[in-house]
Amino acid sequence: MFIWNLLVKNFPEYCESVAGFWTVEPLNALTNFAFFIGAYYLLKYIRVNNLKNRLSIFLTGLMVVMGLGSLLWHSYRSEITMLLDTLPIYIFFILALYLFVQVLTKNKKLTIVILALLGLIYYLIFTYIPGLNIFSGSLKYIFILIVLVALSFFIRKKYGYDYNFLTPLGIFLVAIMLRTIDIFMCPFFPFGTHFIWHILIAIAMYFGSTLILRLNAKMNQV
């Protein structure tokens, strides 16, 4: 129940809002096709680089599910569609965190303990500290970003610049900023900036997924 409340407790507000079932937020909905495009190019990357495995299939499918979930949420608001919108991106981040920690520790039990501690810290911060759900919940993504950036520095130091996650994480930072200022842009731009969040997240997820697959392949070779 606490996970449900954490993910869907507060409905975020967006600039774009038009009456109708499939046109609640048309631009916010349509830009989710960026995830489908990203999944297509990720599949091509997997084939060209011979990286087909369960992880690559899962990441490609997750991009498709993320696009569908967000498309439904921005077309029709409900607790179910919001869960479909938020859950896939959290799954992606948990997977990324697991791999990041695992390649550094090379100890599955220690990795699980570290992830559990991070999850507990996340839950306590955003459940018991008041006022952190402002800005449409963007502070939750900032927390995840900080952890991923810190881990990415250690990964780059250990495995070299070929495994530099700072580019997709930089795109993720810009995406968070545009997601955050969306509601403040309403007087100047009625469509807001949330739709750009979708495009940038799809791009960041594509580049992040390619690096994750390469890093996973390297780890399996060791």
* The two structure tokens encoding residue 165: 């996650």
The answer to the question of whether 198 is labelled as a binding residue is yes
The answer to the question of whether 13 is labelled as a binding residue is no
The answer to the question of whether 194 is labelled as a binding residue is yes
CB 215 within 8 A of CB 99: yes
Question: How long a stretch of residues is the chain?
Answer: 222
Largest CA distance in the chain: 55
Query: Phi-psi category of 194—alpha, beta or left, where left has phi over 0 and alpha has psi -120 to 50?
Result: alpha
* The two structure tokens encoding residue 150: 């810190």
The answer to the question of whether 25 is labelled as a binding residue is yes
CB 143 within 8 A of CB 125: yes
Which parts are annotated binding residues for Zn(2+)? 74, 194, 198
Which parts are annotated binding residues for Ca(2+)? 25
Which parts are annotated binding residues? 25, 74, 194, 198
